[in-house]
Amino acid sequence: MGSSLRELEALQTRILERIAHLELSLHAHRLSPLSLSSGDGAVTGGGGGGGDGGGGGFSTESRLSAVLFAGGVRDFSFKRVPSDYYDRSLEERRDILGAPSIDHLCKSIVLVNTQAPASVADCSNHSNSKYYIVVIQYKARLNAENIKNSIYTLNDRQIPKKKFNFRLAPEEESVALTGYVHNAVTCIGMKTNIPVILDEAIAKLEPNFFWLGGGEVDLKLGIRTPQFINAVNPFVVSCS
């Protein structure tokens, strides 16, 4: 039964990837090169271009676009950034992406509950998961205690608070769970269905369009906040 379910999910993913690939091809024929790709690396509406993301010949943009399209997301954009992007200041990164402010620059990090009992070894229970992926602003300082209290409350305070202790997951665990390397992590199209926590500060941003990792180190994804929330269904809590 489990094997059949996995095969069905794999088939659905391939179909969605193909749909996204065809949609992007149609966009390329209908739109001028400047309207599809501005020449500065920006690609709107889940546009193509970029490296092979390992999805059977599909680019990372196509694969993630398929996931986003399936989730009802239509207002998103990919953009390639320079190789020295992470050596630059937040203000320079803001300008590269055309973001309204540095507040709109966000990252996804995987946390592990180091005090979880042996019975909590995976992400099957989103209310009490071994791992969480947190989307937080680059300028913010992660407050693990806030997250601990939020998960404790989420479980109606029925689990002793000492059973929660969230720390940054080791790099190898993050890669194994998400399928993405450091500085490429995104909560879209992960290998594992890790529950997502969105910092409430991001949900309050105006304009309500933020940037996060896009699956490759030099690829960033911009997305409309309400559509992100509807598609990903994150826990929205104070993380800083």
Coil/strand/helix, residue 52: strand
Contacts of 215 (CB under 8 A, 6+ apart): 53, 60, 63, 64, 180, 184, 186, 188, 189, 221
> CB–CB of 46/69 below 8 Å?
yes
- What is the residue-level pLDDT of the chain in tens, covering all 240 positions? 556 656 666 666 666 656 655 555 444 333 333 222 223 444 445 433 334 444 445 799 999 999 999 999 999 999 999 999 999 999 999 999 999 999 999 999 999 999 999 999 999 999 999 999 999 999 999 999 999 999 999 999 999 999 999 999 999 999 999 999 999 999 999 999 999 999 999 999 999 999 999 999 999 999 999 999 999 999 999 999
Contacts of 201 (CB under 8 A, 6+ apart): 103, 137, 140, 238, 239, 240
Dihedral class, residue 50 (left if φ above 0, else alpha if ψ from -120 to 50, else beta)? left
Q: Domains of the chain by range and CATH?
A: 2-80 (no CATH), 85-229 (3.90.960.10)
